Amino acid sequence: MSVTNIGATPATTTQGHTVSVNETILPRKYQEEIFRRAQDHNIIAALDTGSGKTLISILLIKWIVLQPSAIGKAVVFLVPKVALVEQQAEFITSQTPLRVRKFHGSLDLELSDRSNWKSSFEKADVVVMTAQIFLNILTHSHWSIDKVSLIIFDECHHTRKNHAYNGIMREYFQVHPTERPKVFGMTASPIWNPKDAEGSLLTLEKNLDAIVIAVRDHVSELLENSPRPVEVIKEYSPSPDNYLYLNPSLWDTLSLFQFDDVDISWDKLHMKYHVTRNSLGPYSADLFIYHEVRARVNQLLLEFDTPDYHFVNPFSIQEDGMDIDDPPASQNTPSIPVALEQVDSILSDFKPFFEDLSTSPPAVPIPVPLAWCTPKVKALAEVLLAYHTPTFHGIVFVEQRQVAACLAKVLSKIPELRGRIRCAELVGHGSGHSARSKGSNANAASGVNVKGMGLARQQDTVRLFRRSYEEGGLNLRAFLLCTCITSLTFFVCLVVATSVAEEGLDFPACDLVIRFDPLHHMVGYVQSRGRARTKTSTFVIMAQVGHASHLDRYKAFQEIEPELKRVYQGRENPTRPASSESSSDSEEGELEEDDPEDLAARERYIVPSTGAVLTYGSAIGLINYLCSLIPHDAYTPPSVPKYSGDYAAVLELPSSLPLPVDHLIYRGPTRNSKREAKRAVAFIAVKALHKLDVFDDYLLPSTGSKGKSDYDADGRKLPDVSEIPDIMTVFVQDPWTLGPRLRMHVISIDGEDSAGLVTGAELPPFELSSEGYTITVRCTDELVFHPEEEWETLRMLEEYTKMGIWFCISGRPITLPITCFLVPLTEHNCIDFEAVKRVVNEPYGTYNWEGVTERDFGSTMVMNCNLYGRAQTLHNIRYDLTALSVPPPGSREAGYATYQEYFVQKWTRKSREAFVPTDCPLIEIHSLPRAPSGLYRPASRHQDIDKYKRHTAPVGSIVPQGACRVVHFSRPVYRAFLFLPRICRRATDVYRAREERFQLGLPPIDDDLLVEGSTLPTTNATWNNQRLETLGDSVLKLTCTVHIMNKFPHRHEGQLSQLRQSSISNRTLLSRAKEIGLERFLSSETQSLHAWRYTIPEESDVVDRLMQARHTIRREYPRRSLQDCMEATLGAAFLTGGIDMALRTGDALGLSMGGPLPWSLRYSRPPESSLIPPMFADLQASIGYEFHRSELLVEAITHPSFTTSAGSSYQRLEFLGDGKPRSSGTNLSMLTQNLAVIDLVIMRHLFQQFPDATSGQLSAARSRAVCGPTLASVAVNRLGLHKHLLINNVELSTAITRHVPILETLSPEDAILKGWKYDPPKALSDVLESLVGAVLVDSAYNFEKTASVVEVAMSDVLGVLTTNLPRDPVSELMVWAATGGCKRIAFQQVPLIAHEQVVAGPITASNLSLSKGLAAERARAILGDPNHEMSLARLCDCRRTAEERMDICPEPPGDQTSQKVTDETEEGFASIAQQKLEEDYIPPVDAVEDVEAELSDEMVLTSI
């Protein structure tokens, strides 16, 4: 690898251009000079664009991390724009071995996520981020300046006024000088006001606590590597009034109509139209109008979501519309306004001129003659033609976004330029545009982009430009060989950009840079010219003939630039200024903004407990952030603060904040500027809101998001669970041990003492019902053996028990020492040692049949020596038959001459011959069961066993008496052995449950329910904790919701949702479970006993185990089992003692429920009742409840649009009535979100009504009952809440009027089965939820009374609700695909893609979830049709591909904890599908076999 001594990326030559290659980068001498000076002082490096300033920062980073003072600190690299984060982070990563993290607004890490911010800084050496994010981190005390070793300011000339750079430096100056980090600034324009160059320079130095320096010793080398372009002025004529263009034009046609009925901002469009027309010409102006109006018309048409009208989306292939089953005949659907239809028709007529969907992306469909363009565009075309070469690359700078977009579309369609250039626009994010999306706006993706570009699209444009540069430009010969221009999509040789391209972005050096619009300031001149930095580059200034002011400004910039550079280049050993009265913080022509008196009056508010800082600069942003979290539906505008007054501002907060009226309005002091007055009143408001606990001690309106907070809602620290492995190794409580003290437990079967169970722990007394028998176990005495005989006695008991287990249970020998003994008893319940000795001495029985008489039939156990180890019982002795007798016709032996011949054939093996004595009678025997499992059913889950029984007679046979031994186990002992696995299992479960209750301080939860709550699915039992976990999840949400809502009365629903999430998240449950040691009490052992598990582990010291009791055993199970068991324990407590016991349990488990005190004592209500308005009389009768407080009822039915400053809406009550987070739109996945009051009532009903239903079935049924359409149907049909709802919004009232007739025809069955196809206004379901919340509050939080109201209101739904419901279409498709093994399906927005083929969609609907549902329904039919060309059988090769990859060792998966799972990627779709497939619990095969064996054993046990 070669080494190049350059300051930019090493390069090689291709077609006249230098292109980047991966070579080692070494600094030039002038860079080393700046680096050496930066080690000694804080400096601002003033170097031209392209001179390698970033490489100097790399050198400084490498140097600073080696300093002792930098240990444990981070390097912060700050940039002013989002796109620069990715660029600089990538460069630092490529040049250093350091850990680099990057942050900007489009990354999924929220400001309130304190724990992840802290972790990110601790795990990084260098952090690259936008300045505003770092300022937020500092002010909210997520990190501090003294934990930073170096701050690098890219484009540091922004450090002035209220820019975030300046805010960061204000925090920097608050730190003691010895603890401040080093500062390094980089800029090509350190002076922004040419009229006061010295003042600008001093201000920048003062703000950054640094000195501006330039290269002194190696100037010639710098000039050699930073060449100046040739500067050219291109003049053009003024625009004419008339053009040879379409008559009438699109704008003229639209202007002929009056559009008062169409919600389009015509005034704003008119202004932008004329700006575009004056700059580019009539065609470009119409192009802008077409795409802008088309996007708005499409949006308006979507709102008319009738099934019979569907418009064509111009940016996608449109399929058929919604498929509503049996829509009502009359839906009273309002017609589309005539004006809107006219606009749509006009746009369709002009579509051939402005839109071509056959190309990707859609392009201008026709050639654009220069006659349709302004002289300015003609002059631009002349410049492009004059400077064009086959390897040409350039940038055109414009002022406005729509001009950039239109010009980029039109230039390549001008006949004179066609085939010579390939254009793309590059604009900023714009206000209101989220940098998260990648081309999410269809208009931005394919039309005229006026709303800004997302980060991904910006990066794509730069990447295509660089790729064209590296490939040597757009080759004309290659172009002529192409059939269409779309083949050159991956090449861009000309970028039309706004100021976003002036600085920072990693553009290669351009041949041509053109200032299409006038220059306004010195910085823009220097930065844009810096893009033309090769020796042959040209910088063109376009100026209109006769506009002398534009030319004069440019010439002034050109002339004064050398003088400005001499200001800082000529200084010898400059010193850092402490202050300067002559400093300037304004650009040329700007007025001073911050008055000195105002600055002197500013305050800082520091929260003592956290160090979070409130400043005048952050206060307005915090108020805006608080209001942005207030939920709102589609019919309510976002909540915003209102400022009034001029120099003494008044702030009015939204009435949707749950604050007293006197805390919604704040008045600020008098200030000398309007903006400062606004900051001052915001500062006062934030301070007051912090005291009201609306802002927490970190001055954030929420304590965490997505369960990532370090604290729960009560402010208690959450232990770190990141190091807990997915599969935990734990020591669980276990009673099976020996030790020095042994205890006797008597086993009684149906009241008869049958045997004794000896172990080293005292087992709790318990009762077990199984197969019609009642088994009880009770502890009687402590056993004491003679010291000299103790070891021999224990050996005998062990031999006896092992033999019984082998003979009666497992059929396998036991080699390890066992931890319990089952022994025969005398009539006084002492160990029958004689019986023990008989078995030990003759373990396989005796051939001596003396003493066996008729009374022993049915109770004597025998063993056929030809069928070794199989237990059988004697039924009869046939003295009339021997082995030589002839079998009677019809018997199983009838095909043989004698019984002997049959026995020989049946029992002969390769290794032995059959033993068939002929001198003895034959005996009738019945086979006894063996190898039963530990399966049993708790009392709470007893079922009618008869429906599982196989109603067949016991299997009997005839064998020679001489071939059988009489076994010494008695009938009662055998029966006890047969039940021993279940007894041991039940004893283990009860022991752990009672230890859990005692050690954790739980209330008296029912044993069976607590056992079920602690039983993991890994046991392979027919029951486990998943049902209780589903119920407990609802209990947890309700109890946390009630506590949080009362604890934080002044926080709105959005804040409460995040608080609750931090208290109920899986992370919180896991951390609290580990904190209390819940893992010690969970049962994970399989209940199949093919091998006896109650033994001393092989690695253990047997003598030590006999001398000392050990009540724990090592087990492994998934860590997620802990969070499930937390919720299952809550569910068990709720079923035992209702909400009161659940509160006590939650307190013992460490959950945020407000303590163990019952709600009735914790929350009181006013003793005096208030008069209920007559309009609510019928409503109270419908729900069967009379309100105590009328204001709660009024609040419950008040939509946010109706509220005033003196009243509240239903949002907080709705938060109580339901538990789901607010969303601006509905999503199918949201239908599975858990609710609160209604959710718990529905879940309890399902739990009790369907005891056989799995957890997945319960959740699916619950989601159907509590989804928006079902609740809206109940609100309308059962309660008539649409008549009581208080609304002040025409659109919402219209939507409700349109949907009420549809809902009135909707039966409860249709609401459950087909509800996903309907999308009624959310307000209809919200008002029902808020009404339920109002009942709960009004009844002093009496849950049972509230539950009865819900049951009455939803009785029709509950009557038809079952657990055998068809899945919604998306889930059905997912499960079907997962069952078939396909992993190549995903949604792409709305179209459904399978193996890169569009199968269905996009389908237009009123919301995304409905559109996905319809697309999934259609895709399922297509993929499942074997005759269709897109059937899954033809498309899918996933199974074959998986088999081919089995021999390849897969790479270990990375950390995926922060990755968001979505159905819009193939991996996410497959992951969600697999989860849904596993939701319906199916017992594993061995568990099913155990159940079958258990049930087949029952008939034998019954016969015994």
Closest CA to 191 of 622, 472, 566: 566
The pair phi, psi for residue 77, each rounded to 5°, is -110, 115
Can you state the percent helix, strand and coil of the chain, rounding each to 5? Answer: 45, 10, 45
Is residue 1134 exposed (0-12), middle (13-18) or buried (19+ Cβ within 10 Å)?
buried
752 CB-near residues (< 8 Å, 6+ apart): 972
Taking the CA atoms of 213, 218, 222 and 225 in sequence, report the sign of the dihedral they define: negative
Burial 1049-1079 (b: 16+ CB within 10 A, else e): eebbbbbbbbbbbbbbbbbbbbbbbbebebb
Reading the block at residue 507, the tokens are: 């553009």
Strand-pair category, 74-79 with 126-130: parallel
- Determine which helix (DSSP H) or strand (DSSP E) holds 703, and give its type and residue range: none
Residue carrying structure tokens 């030809």: 866
Distance CA 299, CA 1325 (A): 25
Closest CA to 1065 of 720, 712, 727, 719: 712
Distance CA 899, CA 278 (A): 114
Closest CA to 1059 of 1070, 1072, 1077, 1046: 1046
User: Which one from 1329, 1463, 1479, 1498 is the annotated catalytic residue?
Assistant: 1329
Half-sphere exposure of 672 (CA within 13 A, CB side): 11
| Chain centroid to CA 167 | 33
- Determine which helix (DSSP H) or strand (DSSP E) holds 154, and give its type and residue range: strand 148-154
710 flagged as catalytic: no
590 flagged as catalytic: no
Radius of gyration of the chain from its Cα atoms, rounded to whole angstroms: 41
Task: Concatenate the DSSP letters of all residues of 604-659 into one string.
Answer: -EE-TTT--EE-HHHHHHHHHHHHHTS---TTSPPP--EEE-SSS-EEE--TTS--
Q: Which residues pair with 1397 in a beta bridge?
A: 1394
3-state secondary structure of 12: strand
The pair phi, psi for residue 727, each rounded to 5°, is -110, 115
Cβ-based neighbour number of residue 1171 at 10 Å:
6
Strand-pair category, 211-213 with 74-79: unpaired
Half-sphere exposure of 959 (CA within 13 A, CB side): 24
3-state secondary structure of 42: coil
Distance CA 1422, CA 856 (A): 70
Strand-pair category, 74-79 with 148-154: parallel
Distance CA 1057, CA 1220 (A): 8
Q: Which residues pair with 235 in a beta bridge?
A: 543
3-state secondary structure of 231: strand
| Chain centroid to CA 1032 | 21
Burial 1081-1119 (b: 16+ CB within 10 A, else e): bbbbbbbbbeebbbbbeeeeeeeebbeebbbebebebeb
Reading the block at residue 898, the tokens are: 């004698």
User: Which one from 1007, 1008, 1053, 1218 is the annotated catalytic residue?
Assistant: 1218
883 CB-near residues (< 8 Å, 6+ apart): 898, 899, 900, 903, 916, 917, 918, 920, 922, 960
Secondary structure string (H, E, C) spanning 1465-1493: CHHHHHHHHHHHHHHCCCCCHHHHHHHHH
List, by residue number, the catalytic residues.
1218, 1329
